[in-house]
């Protein structure tokens, strides 16, 4: 075990290991004989480890692991490599500060609810244009836990999975004013599985509502009905196109985010929507040079078409509706083009918010490693969205003057978000929704109709 070589656990073994490394360095002409002997005779000194002295510790660990795969351990640990990464230091600092401050607030709430306060959080920001990882926080405190929850932890995303399902619907030609029924329903089980009766998080039902409103207010029943209409295999197929590689079980409950996936997968999938339907595999290392500045390796962006440009623009518009009209309205205060989705799992075990500006996608997860509750009402909007807002506020200048892609093949129509009917510009509570040309509603109805 690695702990056997820890100077805290076994100082003798640690000294032996150190001396082996020194001998290798001497043999490879990295240090002189005098330096080797001097270092070999140095007593073991234990320093106090604090992640406050490390810049982006989870990101550095992630990069180091990848470097070993790219150049090999020998070249890596001989030293002298110049490694250029995708990290945005300012954004990284804002992410670390946001996690620290917002988890303190959450811990206070948990103590009031008599819940053992051991929350963790993960944050990941991606450049939409390049796929570069701009910030990465894998946990609350690297010195206490080096486990990277941003890339390694597989958790249920809850309703943060829904945009993938709605993307499937849009790609199959369903306009965002199509009506879904929001009323209690029982789905018959297959094989040995019992019947399933999903519920809305809010426990209330709206009757017939549009796709747009169902997503904006994160309604479960219409979403499961939509999954039944589309077919689980179709949704799994587009999830794969969007870069989701984790196992997706073929059940209707997939609609509500019951599959376990990583924050990295989900954040990369969301990046497709503002990127004209293109998936770019996230990367951390841009290039590697040797100590003389000679290029050893350069990243080659891995791009693919995940969905149509029109479909991506429509989903972006619907996710913009989450912030303008739905569960993410708290983020309206940022006053920049934003889109995203909340996610909350059963018993408030996981809280998520994944969203984007025209240039940056950020994913946030909050939960406990033990998968116990964060506390009553600790939703994605309450526990995760504030972290996301802190990060995106810092990133605002990077999206200055930018707007979301509006393809020529689309048109905006003002509709009633409940009935889906086109209405006049002055109609109360109406929304300006994006449609593929030829699928938009045409007959304008007055409010009195």
CA distance 107 to 113: 10
Query: Is residue 75 exposed (0-12), middle (13-18) or buried (19+ Cβ within 10 Å)?
Result: middle
Q: What is the pLDDT of residues 117-130, one digit of tens each?
A: 999 999 999 999 99
Comparing 212-216, 292-296, 304-308, which segment has the lowest mean pLDDT?
A: 292-296
Q: Which backbone phi and psi does 434 adopt, to 5 degrees?
A: -95, 135
**Average pLDDT for 292-313:** 96
Query: Residue 8 above 60 pLDDT?
Result: no
pLDDT at residue 193 tops 80: no
- Give me the pLDDT at residue 442, please: 84
What is the residue-averaged pLDDT of the chain? Answer: 92
The pLDDT assigned to 7 comes to: 58
Q: Which two tokens stand for residue 188?
A: 């018959």
- Is pLDDT of 185 > 80? yes
Q: How confident is the model at residue 366 (pLDDT cuts 50, 70, 90)?
A: very high
Rounded to 10 deg, the angle between the 232-241 and 220-230 helix axes is 90
> Is residue 53 scored above 70 in pLDDT?
no
What's the pLDDT score for residue 218?
97
| CA dihedral (24, 28, 30, 33) positive or negative | positive
List pLDDT tens digits, range 154-181.
999 999 999 999 999 999 999 999 999 9
pLDDT at 51: 46
Q: What is the pLDDT of residue 74?
A: 85
Tokens 């689980």 found at: 232
First to last CA, the chain: 73
Mean pLDDT of 99-127: 97
pLDDT at 6: 55
Residue 30 has a pLDDT of 82
| Helical (H) or strand (E) element with 170 | helix 162-171
Using a cut of 0.85, tell me whether the model's pTM lies above it: yes
Residues in contact with 284: Cβ distance below 8 Å, sequence separation at least 6, in sequence order: 59, 62, 63, 66, 85, 86, 87, 132, 133, 136
pLDDT given at position 10: 64
Residue 282 has what pLDDT? 98
Using only C-alpha atoms, what is the Rg of the chain?
Answer: 25
- Give the model's confidence band at 151: pLDDT under 50 very low, under 70 low, under 90 confident, else very high: very high
Q: Give the percent of the chain with pLDDT over 90.
A: 79
How large is the average pLDDT for residues 303-314?
99
Name 300's Cβ contacts closer than 8 Å, sequence gap at least 6: none
Assign 9 a pLDDT band (cuts: 50, 70, 90): low
Please answer whether residues 205 and 178 qualify as being in contact, where contact means their C-beta atoms are separated by less than 8 angstroms: no
Higher pLDDT, 217 or 3: 217
**Can you tell me the mean pLDDT for 408-417?**
97
For residue 444, pLDDT over 60 is answered with: no
Q: What is the pLDDT of residue 280?
A: 98
Please give the Cα distance from 370 to 143 (Å, whole number): 19
pLDDT band at 449 (very low <50, low <70, confident <90, very high): very low
Q: What is the mean pLDDT of residues 6-13?
A: 64
The least confident of 27-31, 42-46, 267-271 is 42-46
What confidence score (pLDDT) does residue 46 get? Answer: 63
pLDDT for position 230: 98
User: Shortest CA distance to 99 belongs to which of 59, 140, 135, 58?
Assistant: 140
Instruction: Specify burial of residue 171 (Cβ count, 10 A radius: 0-12, 13-18, 19+).
Output: buried
* DSSP assignments along 387-427, one per residue: HHHHHHHHTGGGGTT------TTEEEEEE-TTT--BB-TT-
């Amino acid at each position: 075990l690695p702990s056997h070589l820890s100077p805290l656990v076994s100082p003798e073994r640690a000294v032996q290991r150190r001396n082996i490394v020194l001998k290798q360095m001497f043999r490879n002409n990295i240090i002189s004989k005098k330096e080797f002997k001097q270092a070999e005779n140095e007593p073991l000194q234990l320093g106090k480890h604090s992640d406050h002295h490390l810049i982006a510790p989870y990101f550095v660990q992630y990069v180091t692991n990848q470097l070993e795969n790219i150049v090999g351990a020998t070249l890596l640990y001989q030293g002298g490599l110049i490694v250029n990464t995708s990290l945005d230091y300012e954004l990284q600092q804002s992410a670390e500060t946001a996690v620290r401050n917002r988890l303190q607030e959450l811990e206070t709430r948990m103590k009031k609810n008599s819940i053992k306060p051991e929350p963790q959080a993960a944050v990941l920001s991606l450049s939409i244009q390049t796929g570069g990882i701009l910030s990465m926080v894998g946990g609350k405190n690297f010195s206490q836990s080096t486990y990277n929850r941003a890339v390694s932890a597989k958790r249920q995303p809850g309703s943060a999975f829904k945009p993938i399902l709605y993307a499937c619907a849009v790609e199959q030609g369903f306009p965002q004013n199509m009506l879904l029924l929001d009323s209690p329903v029982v789905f018959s089980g297959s094989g040995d599985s019992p019947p399933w009766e999903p519920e809305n998080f809010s426990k209330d039902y709206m009757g017939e509502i549009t796709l747009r409103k169902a997503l904006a207010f994160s309604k479960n029943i219409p979403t499961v009905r939509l999954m039944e209409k589309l077919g689980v295999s179709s949704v799994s197929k587009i999830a794969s196109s969007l870069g989701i590689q984790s196992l997706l079980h073929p059940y209707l409950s997939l609609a509500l985010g019951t599959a376990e996936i990583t924050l990295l997968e989900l954040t990369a999938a969301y990046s497709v929507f503002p990127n004209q339907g293109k998936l770019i595999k996230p990367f951390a290392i841009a290039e590697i040079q040797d100590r003389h500045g000679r290029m050893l390796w350069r990243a080659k962006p891995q791009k693919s078409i995940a969905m149509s440009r029109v479909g991506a623009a429509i989903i972006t518009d619907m996710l913009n509706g989450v912030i303008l009209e739905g569960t993410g309205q708290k983020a309206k205060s940022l006053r920049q083009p934003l889109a995203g989705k909340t996610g909350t799992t059963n018993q408030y075990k996981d809280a998520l918010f994944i969203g984007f500006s025209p240039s940056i996608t950020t994913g946030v997860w909050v939960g406990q490693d033990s998968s116990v509750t964060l506390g009553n009402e600790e939703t994605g909007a309450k526990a995760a969205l504030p972290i996301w807002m802190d990060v995106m506020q810092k990133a605002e200048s990077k999206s200055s003057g930018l707007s979301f892609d509006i393809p020529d093949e689309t048109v905006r129509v003002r509709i009633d978000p409940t009935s889906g009917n086109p209405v006049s510009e002055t109609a109360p509570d109406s929304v300006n929704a994006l449609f593929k040309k030829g699928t938009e509603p045409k007959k304008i109805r007055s409010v009195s109709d």
